[in-house]
Amino acid sequence: MKAILIATIAVIFSQNVYAQSTVWDNIKIRKDFETGTNDDDKAANLSFTFPKDKSNYFVVNAGVGYQYDNISGDQTMFKNSITGFFAYNRNNQIDKEQNNFKIGISNGMTIFTDNEQQTALFGSNTLEYLNDHSEDSQSMAITSYWYPFSKKKEFVKLGGYVAEEHLFAYYFLPTAGLEYQNKFEAALPESNGYHVRGYFGLGANLLLKKPPANHKKEPVPKSFWSKGMELSVKYEARKNLLSNVDNTDSYIPMFTSELNIYPTQDNKFSIGLSYTNGANPINGLEKQTFWLLAIKFKK
Other residues' Cβ atoms within 10 Å of the Cβ of residue 234: 17
Q: Is 205 helix (H, G, I), strand (E, B) or coil?
A: strand
Find the Cα–Cα–Cα–Cα dihedral 170, 172, 173, 174, rounded to 10°. 180
pLDDT digits (tens, 9 = 90+) for 65-85: 666 666 555 567 788 888 888
**Position 58 pLDDT exceeds 70:** no
- Residue range 105-127: mean pLDDT, rounded: 88
Highest mean pLDDT among 14-23, 29-38, 261-270: 261-270
| Predicted local confidence at residue 83, as pLDDT | 82
Among positive and negative, which fits the CA dihedral 258, 67, 198, 284? Answer: negative
**C-alpha 225 chain-centroid distance:** 24
- CA separation for the pair 54, 165 (Å, rounded): 51
- CA separation for the pair 7, 21 (Å, rounded): 27
- CA separation for the pair 256, 253 (Å, rounded): 10
Domain at 165, CATH number: 2.40.128
Q: How confident is the model at residue 7 (pLDDT cuts 50, 70, 90)?
A: very low
- Residue range 139-153: mean pLDDT, rounded: 91
| Predicted local confidence at residue 104, as pLDDT | 87
Cα distance from N-terminal residue to C-terminal residue, the chain? 33
**Position 161 pLDDT exceeds 80:** yes
- CA separation for the pair 227, 232 (Å, rounded): 13
pLDDT digits (tens, 9 = 90+) for 265-274: 777 778 888 8
Q: Is 290 helix (H, G, I), strand (E, B) or coil?
A: strand
Check if the beta carbon of residue 158 is closer than 8 Å to that of residue 148.
Answer: yes
| Predicted local confidence at residue 12, as pLDDT | 43
Q: Which domain holds residue 133?
A: 2-297
User: Against a cut of 0.85, is the pTM above it?
Assistant: no
What is the total count of domains within the chain?
1
